[in-house]
Structure 1
Amino acid sequence: MTGPVGFALQRLRRRRAVHASRLSPRDLLAEATAGMLQRPGRSALTALGTVLGVGTFVAVLGLTSTTSQQIDERFNALTATEVTIEDTGGDQPEYLQNAFPADADARVERLNGVRDAGVYWSVRLPEGKGVRSAPVGEAAEEAQGQVIAASPGVLAAAGPHLQQGRVFDAYHDRKAQQVAVVGSGMAARLGITTLETAPAIFIDGDAFTVIGIVEEVDRKSDLLLSVVVPRTTAQHVWGGPRSGDRAKMLISTQLGAAQQIAKEAALALDPAHPDYFRAIPPPDPRSLRTAVTSDLDQLFLLLAGICLLIGAVGIANTTLVAVLERTGEIGLRRALGARSRHITLQFLAESGALGTLGGLVGTSLGTFAVVGTAMAREWTPVIHPATVMAAPAIGLLTGVVAGLYPAWRASRIQPVEALRR
């Protein structure tokens, strides 16, 4: 079109192009800040979801690393200090029942690095015989538990924590006294709750005085469901180990000595026939603890992801409510020239800022939780630096993702419809 009218239209198009609506990063930041400060209570509640999610994320990963460290130390302190010696007996008939010499405990304990050592075997009772708290024919509790013949070194190597009483010693073993130490599980089955009345139990009709109740052990947990009697007493009453129930030796060592003790124990027990014994050294704890820590990491990462998802849903809901409440404001902005992308960027900036703020606060709270828990348990807190550095970014990402749909809804609001409300 030519003439004055066409010239005026061209000038109008150029003016519109020159004065097209723009939103600079500075203005975007100012608008987002104003939107958050306009309703501080709602903004705080919106950020709370991210605080909880990111805080849980940091705390869970930190506690996982700290717990894994304690698992490593536990494996090193217990599993790596235990050696078991099995009696293979060889092919000689004189060693058919028990190849361990009478002074087996003393021979092994003389090795450098050994703390305690003892020989034990399972006592095979006659068919239908068990452990009773009173003689046959009287009202009594009966338990079909395991009876273990053991030298005093076995109980020392097992690391017992006594509920009541004491364990038998070398005197009881040397004199073949009929005393017994019962595990807490076996004591509960037999109805033994106190040692003040000097309770007795009856094994295959023979009376044994209970002198101790073991509540927990560091090694050989089956003792908690067993009755332990001195080795010499068991030999006097029932004989030595039967075929198929060969004796074993439990050895507790100093840290780092287990592998060497496993190589030396058979020769110390019988220099002429070391092949009568087979040493079982402690397994390499790295494979086991790697599997355990891997399972913990996966479980806790899943938990942290669920917490972040809950936080994202909270931000999305609150931001969507804010969009509905600010419909009139959005319509006015559109009427004054704001474009759809400007509205989208504004709400994304608000949700992203709240997510970042929540991420920073959550990171701090999660770190304090890890350190506080570790101090209370006297552990060494372990938090990977990458976790702390990534947590605020995760909060930002959570906020932006949660604000996508509400921001899109806000950008679709038409000015005319908004101003009618």
Structure 2
Amino acid sequence: MTGGGTPARLPRSRLRAADVLPLGLLGIRGRPARAALSGLGIAIGIACVVAVLGISASSQAGLLAQIDALGTNLLTVQPGKSLTGEAAHLPAEAPAMIARLPGVRATAHVGRVDGGVYRHDRMPAGNSGGIAILATSLSLLATLEVPVVSGSWLNAATERYPAVVLGATAARRLGVPEVRGSPRLFLAGQWFTVVGVLGPAVLDPGVDSAALVGVPVAVQRLGFDGLPTKIYERSAEQAVETVRERLPKVANPASPSEVEVSRPSDALVARAAAEAAYTGLFLGLGAVALLVGCVGIANVMVIGVLERRGEIGLRRALGATRAHVRRQFLTESVLLSVSGGTAGAVIGAVITVGYAATRNWAVVVPVDALAGGLLASLLAGALAGLYPAARAARMSPTEALRAG
């Protein structure tokens, strides 16, 4: 009481910002196993999100790096359809005519040869494993920039004799990874010796699944008609679009509408975009895991409020306001979620680095994925803690002490 009989006003209870964090850590330190398990769901969700985005970005970076290395100045010419819907043909002179175009630096061509490819002559017809026979010009390797992993490429001598070079996929299917021992294959009723094995042809996977022979031997022994089925053309970068417009008329002057011109690098860029589209599915799975983790934290926080009613009542009796109690439990929920999110971001980054290393990709861990994951965990913790914090704040000191 004061001199005038007025009761003394008690000092207002305050909770300093520096005290909020230690209060939020009380429940986590008291039950570390439960805290770790409740944060696990958040960690899994964030790890999924970061890993999916990181692997997708690394994959695209690797593919785009290949495109840059191989160039975007390669165009392919193929026969299309005639006006009656039948398969069209390119003239035998088309490769030579294209080579004379201004701006053209290199050309190569292949022609499909009828027949199968077998390890021996007792295989049933048709069981060729999808391997095509292609008669090819000698400039194919340089134009497509395909590496030789075993043996050698065709030359002016071997293109006239029964020698064959296998694409990467064809060699794997036939079980001929190298040319040691001079393995032989049965091509369209003729024996051919394997003189080389190629690496992956990034710009034209069709070469990977082919057995490549010289044009002269294909005409002499395999009944090849000499007509090209695909022509490859490399031009100066500044001349690509101009050459692209002129190719149909030059390749088939009589019927330019029956000629199809494409750029393989465009297909690779489209493939990169398609792969990116699939990440949406995995991101959805990561969001589901994040939601499950959020529910788990909310459940743990509700149980924690019930178990700590005595603590809540004591703090209220000592002057803590409802806002102080609400802030304590909300901070605890956010700390649980953010710690799980941080662990998940680290795990996702490690998964990205490990997977990219096994595929020889450039490692790309998007900063926005890490920042987004941490922000998502922060929001998840805030949402999960709203109801438990409000419930704790609503408890009266007497009821909480009696129940505790």
Matches within 5 A, 1:205-244: 205-241=189-225
Structure 1 segment 245-284 matched on structure 2, within 5 A: 247-253=229-235, 257-263=239-245, 265=247, 275=256, 278=259, 280-282=261-263, 284=266
2:132 aligns with one of 146, 149, 155: 146
Amino acid at match of 1:280: V
Q: What's the CA shift string for 1:111-150, capped at 9, x where partnerless?
A: 54534x222221124xxxx4333345x9999626422222
* 1:396 corresponds to 2:378: yes
Alpha-carbon offset, residue 233 of structure 1: 1.2
Trace 1:42-61 onto structure 2 (pairs within 5 A): 42=31, 45=36, 53-54=45-46, 57=49, 60-61=52-53
Residues 1:15 and 1:222: Cα distance change in structure 2 (over 3 Å): farther
Letter aligned with residue 132 of structure 1: Y
- After TM superposition, give the deviation of residue 230 of structure 1 in Å: 1.0
- Residue 152 of structure 1 and its aligned partner are, at CA, apart by 1.7
For residues 23 and 52 of structure 1, do their structure 2 counterparts lie closer, same or farther at Cα, with a shift above 3 Å needed? Answer: farther
Deviates more, 1:389-398 or 1:357-366: 357-366
* CA distance in 1: counterparts of 2:361 and 2:173, whole angstroms: 36
Residue 33, structure 1, aligned to residue 10, structure 2 = no
**Structure 1: how far apart are the matches of 2:383 and 2:401?**
25
- What amino acid maps onto 2:262 in structure 1? P
Instruction: Report if the CA contact (8 A) 1:23-1:342 is conserved.
Output: no
CA shift, 1:105, in A, is 5.8
Q: Distance in 2 between matches of 1:392 and 1:204?
A: 61
> Is residue 97–residue 250 contact of structure 2 (8 Å, CA) maintained in 1?
no
Q: Which residue of 1 aligns with 2:92?
A: 100
- The 5 A counterparts of 1:8-407 are 24-26=14-16, 30=19, 32-37=21-26, 39-40=28-29, 42=31, 45=36, 53-54=45-46, 57=49, 60-61=52-53, 64-65=56-57, 67-75=59-67, 80-86=72-78, 99-101=91-93, 104=95, 108=99, 112=103, 114-115=105-106, 117-125=107-115, 130-135=116-121, 143=128, 145-173=131-159, 176-192=160-176, 194-241=178-225, 247-253=229-235, 257-263=239-245, 265=247, 275=256, 278=259, 280-282=261-263, 284=266, 288=270, 291-292=273-274, 294-336=276-318, 342-356=324-338, 379=362, 381=364, 383=366, 392-407=374-389
Preserved contact between residue 89 and residue 99 of structure 1 (Cα < 8 Å): no
- Letter of the aligned partner of 1:114 in structure 2? R
1-side partners of 2:13 and 2:68: how far apart?
62
Runs of 5+ in structure 2 lacking a partner? Answer: none
- For residues 349-397 of structure 1, what are the alpha-carbon distances to aligned partners after superposition, in whole Å with 9 as ceiling and x for unaligned? 3223444566677668877987998899674857466x66655543332
- Partner of 1:201, secondary structure, is strand
RMSD: 4.8
- Equivalent residue number for residue 5 of structure 1: none
Counterpart Cα distance in 1 of 2:40 and 2:349: 17
Aligned-partner residue type, residue 120 of structure 2: A
Distance 1:110 1:208, change over 3 A: farther
Alpha-carbon spacing, 1:155–1:358, altered in 2? closer, same or farther (3 Å)? same
The answer as to whether partners of 2:109 and 2:231 remain within 8 angstroms in 1 is yes
Secondary structure at 1:228's aligned position in 2?
Answer: strand
Q: Measured at CA, do residues 218 and 66 of structure 1 come closer, stay the same or move farther in structure 2, by a change above 3 Å?
A: closer
Q: 1:395 to 1:29 in 2, by over 3 A?
A: farther
How many matched pairs?
A: 390
Cα shift readout 1:311-330 (whole Å, capped 9, x = no counterpart): 42453344344334423212
The aligned counterpart of 2:402 is: 419
Of 41-50 and 365-374, more deviation after overlay is shown by: 365-374
Residues 97 and 240, structure 1, Cα contact 8 Å, conserved in 2:
no
1:228 Cα deviation after fit: 1.8
Separation in 1, partners of 2:238, 2:282: 32
Give the distance between the partners of 2:251 and 2:97, measured in 1 at CA.
Answer: 9
Q: Is the 8 A contact 2:112 2:134 kept in 1?
A: yes
Tell me which structure has the larger Cα radius of gyration.
1
Identify which range, 57-66 or 200-209, moves more after superposition.
Answer: 57-66
Q: Displacement of 1:36 after TM fit?
A: 0.9
Q: CA-to-partner distance for each residue in 1:288-338, whole Å, 9 max, x for gaps?
A: 268426515524532542453354245334434433442321232345565
Q: Report SS of the residue matched to 1:216.
A: coil
1:247/1:141 Cα in 2 relative to 1: closer, same or farther (>3 Å)?
closer
Distance 2:81 2:91 in 1: 6
- 8 Å CA contact 1:80–1:256 kept in 2: the answer is no
